[in-house]
Chain A
Amino acid sequence: MTDISSPPRSGSLGTWLRDPNPTSPLQARLHQSWRMWRKLRRNGSALLGLAILLVIALAALFAPLLATHDIFAQDLGNRLALPSGEHWFGTDELGRDIYSRLLYGARITLYIAGLTAVISAPIGLLVGAVSGYFGGWVDTVMMRVTEIFLAFPSLVLALAFVSALGPGINNAIIAISLTAWPPIARLARAETLIIRRSDYISAVRLQGASALRIIARHVVPMCLPSVIARVTLNMASIILSAAGLGFLGLGAQPPSPEWGAMLSSARQFILSNGFVAAAPGMAILLTSIAFNLVGDGLRDVLDPRHD
């Protein structure tokens, strides 16, 4: 990253990227990415968010190397210890090292957020694009179903699903995905309604393209930027839902170091030993803010109307 963010060098890579007359599709694509990166670079808060996310991702990736203690090792003689050189963020009610648990918890959080996005974004995109493009009764049926999902508060719906499926991370992911796709579908439908009336869609219809081809190759690429931005912004609420389910004891189960579950078990000591809850709480807060900042930045950069 440092390599790219340094000021444009006069070297061959920089000029090749900025060449207004690309000579290959790859160069043209990289040229576009380069323009986007330069736009994003001017957005300080998005960069800050990106930096935080990078730190969290690295922490998750290298958790075994960075952790100072076994996350399941209990030390009841040293429970609820204050932060110290030995335990950077202190210890929890069973004497486990909070810093190490946070690192491993990042893995779970990113796993939940990532998998939920991967499940809910394509579903929402597909439902929205198909519904908006065809209109008529297809639209009516699909949107009514979407509205049924939207009518429930997402955490309540997720609670219902988890109680039906049983507690656990994977069931929490399924439950959150089921509540995360409808807003994306609504967004994609609204975009599609505008896109399908545009001349470039008429033009491709005049080339004899099938509806499937038009949706997949022409409508979806135009919806994608706002959907990506929206999903990134949603990440914060996905993380909060996951933490909320963990907190209620329906997501990750102890002794899993999931942040919401950590917060939940720290709840009993929140008045006497507040720092036990502070660390996972701050981690959830920072991650949510970072996703929000990046989402805002992406919305500015990816929006085709801002070209």
Chain B
Amino acid sequence: MTTPNLEVSQLSIAFGQGSSRVEVVKQANFGIGKGESYGLIGESGCGKSTILRAVAGLNPDYEGALLIDGFELPRRRSKEFFRKVQMVFQDPYASLHPRKMVQNVLIEPLQIMGLDRRQERIDTILSDVGLDQSFRFRFPHELSGGQRQRIAIARALIVEPELVLLDEPTSALDVSVQAEILNLLNRLRRERGLTYLMVSHDIAVVAHMCDRVAIMKDGRILEKLTPEQLRNGAVSEAYTSDFLAASAPAVVRAG
């Protein structure tokens, strides 16, 4: 493997001061190759989303190093970073500005990045995420959850990033819509050669989406698995097998 697209090295994140200080992430290490899809999985509160927010630059208070293409990221992220790395949030009802038309949501990153052919890019990205042109002038409250998440994906991809951070992109959606969004994400990764870092508590989702999986508990990465190991239950940690047993039907379904 050449230089990984994203490398997380000795990452520790703590909140609070003094006696109320809580270490949420403890010395996490992993690397993601170009075009790979990497899953972080664990119970809620295990620190997986915190890692994602640190990578995105939303939380600059971390120890350790984050490297993109072998270069360490500064604490204050640059515009160039945001062209390479984008994020899709968990709740599409919260991640779209309630007062902004779809067209304005999509045109803003293009304005900030100073990209040209704006209308053309919006046309392309809308059809890529499976929405027709009639959605251009709609407001978020006129869209369903799945449609909102498609817009959020379009907003992340319109600047043509290489690495996309997915923070439980389907957990706020209906089961029937979840599969559509996951298939859309898979197709976009194939077509655009994207790298994914996906956070989820749903083993079925991760098994469907990811090439490699890391299991987290209490801020530590317990072990790293392949989807096959995940399905076969070939794990070494007791916690992992408990975790898998609790979600067994889901894994079997996904297999």
Task: Write the residues of chain A forming the contact surface with B, with a CB cutoff of 8 angstroms.
Answer: 20-25, 27-28, 32, 198-200, 202-209, 213, 217-218, 221-222, 304, 307
CA distance A44 to B112 in the complex (A): 44
> Which residues does chain B contribute within 8 Å of A204, judged by CB atoms?
97, 108
Does B195 lie at the interface of the complex (its beta carbon under 8 Å from any beta carbon of A)? no
Which residue of B58, B91, B101 is within 8 Å of A206 (Cβ)? Answer: B58
21 residue pairs from A and B, CB less than 8 Å apart: A21-B134, A23-B137, A28-B101, A199-B89, A199-B94, A200-B96, A202-B56, A204-B108, A206-B86, A207-B82, A207-B108, A207-B112, A207-B159, A208-B77, A208-B78, A208-B82, A208-B83, A213-B112, A222-B97, A222-B98, A304-B98
> Which residues does chain A contribute within 8 Å of B112, judged by CB atoms?
207-209, 213
CA distance A32 to B140 in the complex (A): 12
List the A residue with the shortest CB-CB distance to B96: A200
User: How far in angstroms is the closest Cβ of chain B from A83?
Assistant: 50
Does the CB pair B137–A198 fall under 8 Å?
Answer: no
> Which residues does chain B contribute within 8 Å of A200, judged by CB atoms?
94-98
Does the CB pair B108–A209 fall under 8 Å?
Answer: yes
Given A200-B96, A222-B99, A307-B98: A206 touches B87 (CB 8 Å cut-off): yes
Total chain B interface residues with beta-carbon distance under 8 A:
35
Closest 3 CB pairs of A and B: A28-B137, A199-B95, A208-B79
CA distance A32 to B142 in the complex (A): 11
Does the CB pair A25–B137 fall under 8 Å?
Answer: yes
User: How far in angstroms is the closest Cβ of chain A from B100?
Assistant: 8
Residue interface mask B171-204, A partner, CB < 8 A = 1: 0000000000000000000000000000000000
Given A28-B138, A307-B141: A207 touches B98 (CB 8 Å cut-off): no
CA distance A208 to B97 in the complex (A): 16
Residue interface mask B105-147, A partner, CB < 8 A = 1: 0001100110000000000000000000010011101100000
